[in-house]
Amino acid sequence: MSRIIGLTGGIGSGKTTVANYLKSHGVPVYIADEEAKMIMNTPVVVSKVKEAFGEEMIDDDKVDRQKLAQLVFADAHQLQKLNTIIHPLVKEHFEQWLREHQQYPFVVKEAAILFESGSYKDCDQIILVTAPEADRIQRVVKRDAVTEDLVLARMNNQWSEEQKMALSDYIIHNISLENTREQVDVILDLLKKQQD
């Protein structure tokens, strides 16, 4: 079975940039957040969200993700309720994906809440992407067209950088694209050497 390398980082840290760079080097990367978004609109989840959070969270037979985000990121209990619906389905989907990629010596599982969801325990090693908080806030405000307050609310629902660093095997400081790629190259070399 392939080794699972977890890839995580706080919102706006640059996980996707690192994930895409790994993909360009032929490494299979599972993007948990993208899969969760797709799972979110399956009939079974739409029905569970309607039951758990009310009719107003559904628009045109789809989950109104923006409305739901405003609710859950302001209330840890509601976020936990949503995670209970989504996480088991993402876990099941990842296990299927892993079986389809078992010919690779290692695969990468990218997840924003790898630690918070407990799925870091299923990883053999973990890469953490960090960036200065001010940079992260600006990136997300620009990328998602949301307010700074909403970004900070999301950050407050994630573990601190210190907590994540303590459990990570590799740490990428994402300041400039060129430097970030160099750091990824070093990690890739180390991962390849471990399979020899």
CATH number at residue 182: 3.40.50.300
What CA–CA distance (Å, rounded) separates 159 from 113? 8
Instruction: Report pLDDT for 17.
Output: 94
pLDDT per residue, tens digit, the chain (196 aa), is 799 999 999 889 999 999 999 999 999 999 998 999 999 989 999 999 999 999 999 999 999 988 998 898 888 899 889 999 998 999 999 999 999 999 999 999 999 889 988 899 999 999 999 999 999 999 999 998 888 988 888 888 788 889 999 999 999 999 999 999 999 999 999 999 987 6
Look at the block and give the residue holding tokens 């918070």.
116
Give ∠ CA 130-133-136 in degrees, rounded to 5: 75
12 has binding-site annotation:
yes
Instruction: Return phi, psi of residue 4, to 5°.
Output: -105, 120
Beta bridge partners of 171: 128
Q: Which residues pair with 170 in a beta bridge?
A: 127
Is 37 annotated among the ligand-binding residues? no
6 marked as binding residue:
no
Work out how many domains the chain is built from and give that number: 1
Identify the pLDDT of residue 58.
94
Closest CA to 125 of 140, 109, 112, 137: 109
Measured distance CA(7)–CA(10) in Å, rounded: 11
Range of the domain at 20: 3-195
**17 annotated to bind ligand:** yes
pTM over 0.85: yes
Whole-number pLDDT of residue 153: 84
Sign of the CA dihedral running 139, 144, 145, 150? negative
Position 196 scores a pLDDT of 62
